[in-house]
Structure 1
Amino acid sequence: MPFSPTKKLLFLLGVAIFLLSGCFGKETPESRLYEVMEKAVKAEKQFEAQQDPLIELESKEKAIFDKIMGLGLKEYSQISTLSDEALDIVDKRKEHIELERQSLEQSREQFEKASVIMKEIKKPELKEKAELLYQTMKERYKVHETLYEEYMNVLEGDRKLYTSLKAKDVSLENLEDQVNTLNDFYTSILEANEKFNELTEKYNKEKLNFYELAGLMGKDS
């Protein structure tokens, strides 16, 4: 089919527009970093979803523990039944904390892409803020790893305690030692959790500062 001058002109115009759109549509490092950070946030949705169920389970388990402590060791049958209920809760808590960890790991994998993108940022002030963001988030992930390990220690300690309570020959001294160890673990968890929350707040503030300086406020993720 003959290619008319008009069609040829339209074709060339279309090619030019296509090429220009490729140039102007190319994302800046700042914009790409924004998308990486927002995807990392989305990856933590499952992490957020575990918080309320964990708090509820911890509350139920504490109520059971308090009830056991009020019975006395002679009430073996009731203590054994309640201990089984508590052990079931321990297993459920482990399921939620594992989901929480998986979510943070997915977020970490996504955020690691930022390390390459940051090197492409030219403006010194933006680069400095981006590096600060990256280091804060890395520390946050590291603290959560500590939090996870301490929580797993607690779960193992809880499991050991409730199993011991089911034994008829367990001594009060043995139980006291286990409870003291658990209290130490819980103290470590509270400290790690507080640090994690502080870093989360710090990161969110630094992120908004970076977005504002880079002109990314209001950008759709």
Structure 2
Amino acid sequence: MPFKKILMVLSLCLIVGLAACSGSSTKEKIYDHLEKAVTLEDAFEKQQDTIVDLEKKEQELYGKIIDLGMDDFDKIKDLSQQAIETIEKRSNKVDVEKESITASKEEFMKIEDLIDELEDKDIKDKAKKMYDVMMKRYQAYDSLNKAYTTSLKLEKELYTMLQKEDIEQEALTEHITKINDSYQEVLEANKAFNTHTTKYNKLKQEFYKAADIEVEYEDGKSADKKNSNKNQ
């Protein structure tokens, strides 16, 4: 099954100025927490390229394995063990990714009480809507992480099975079906995560505009990172 994971990241703003008005200090605090939450996701973004490389390496190993016959069983065992090692490295990277998102969430949630301090109803409403969407984004990531971790576990089990000389083809086929089903869940969770990321970035811009927070966007647009997994 062709697998493609695209993880969108948050847009980073650089503050230019904050209009003087009632509640400015509260707005400044909210801005600081929002942008620190973005910065805390740097580690999340940085893992993507390495994960891509590890997925490509595993894909190459899988391709070599399925081209071999049982006469080359020792080679199959060796390649399968190499694949397991790449999965373990990917798992470690995903753990770092999750730690980054968790830190971002903890920082972001600090704005909840500050939102209640905002006096302007329109600004407060925009802030609440932005907050709700971001929390849905974090929930979507949790689902994505859980689905992806499950897929890694199933892949590791597959390569363990391939190291058994008496493994039946039917058992392998059934297990590969489980992997493909698992990655379908990854794709669905990933779509939800990206949808909430795009919506949040837009709502944050609207909040800054309503709050008279003048900002410049470092990259202009949120960046995309693409991961691709092997065909099974």
The alignment's TM-score, normalised by the length of structure 2, stands at 0.81
- The alpha-carbon deviation at position 27 of structure 1 amounts to 4.7
Q: Deviations over 1:35-84 (max 9, x none)?
A: 11011001100000011111111111112112211213442111111101
2:204 alignment counterpart = 207
1:83 alignment counterpart = 80
Q: Deviations over 1:101-138 (max 9, x none)?
A: 00000000001111100000111110111001100110
- Cα distance in 2 between the residues matched to 1:173 and 1:73: 16
Q: Relative contact order (alpha carbons < 8 A, sep ≥ 6): 1 or 2 greater?
A: 2
* Paired letter, 1:156: K
For structure 1, list consecutive stretches of 5 or more residues without a partner in the other structure: 1-23
What SS does the corresponding residue of 1:207 show, helix, strand or coil?
helix
* Correspondence 1:108 to 2:105: yes
- Cα distance in 1 between the residues matched to 2:92 and 2:85: 11
Match of 1:32 among 29, 34, 41: 29
Mean Cα displacement is larger for which, 202-211 or 72-81? 72-81
1:18 alignment counterpart = none
* Correspondence 1:144 to 2:151: no
2:55 alignment counterpart = 58
2:4 alignment counterpart = none
- The alpha-carbon deviation at position 193 of structure 1 amounts to 1.1
Equivalent runs, 1:1-221 vs 2, <5 Å: 27-218=24-215
Larger radius of gyration: 1
* Paired letter, 1:109: E
1 or 2, which has the higher strand percentage? 2
- Cα distance in 1 between the residues matched to 2:135 and 2:70: 47
- Cα distance in 1 between the residues matched to 2:167 and 2:216: 62
For structure 2, list consecutive stretches of 5 or more residues without a partner in the other structure: 1-20, 218-232
- Cα distance in 1 between the residues matched to 2:169 and 2:47: 35
1 or 2, which has the higher helix percentage? 1
Mean Cα displacement is larger for which, 137-146 or 64-73? 64-73
CA RMSD of aligned residues (A): 1.8
- Cα distance in 2 between the residues matched to 1:74 and 1:186: 31
Runs of 4+ residues deviating >6 angstroms:
none
What SS does the corresponding residue of 1:122 show, helix, strand or coil?
coil
- Cα distance in 2 between the residues matched to 1:37 and 1:45: 14
* Paired letter, 1:55: V
* Paired letter, 2:53: E
* Paired letter, 2:117: E
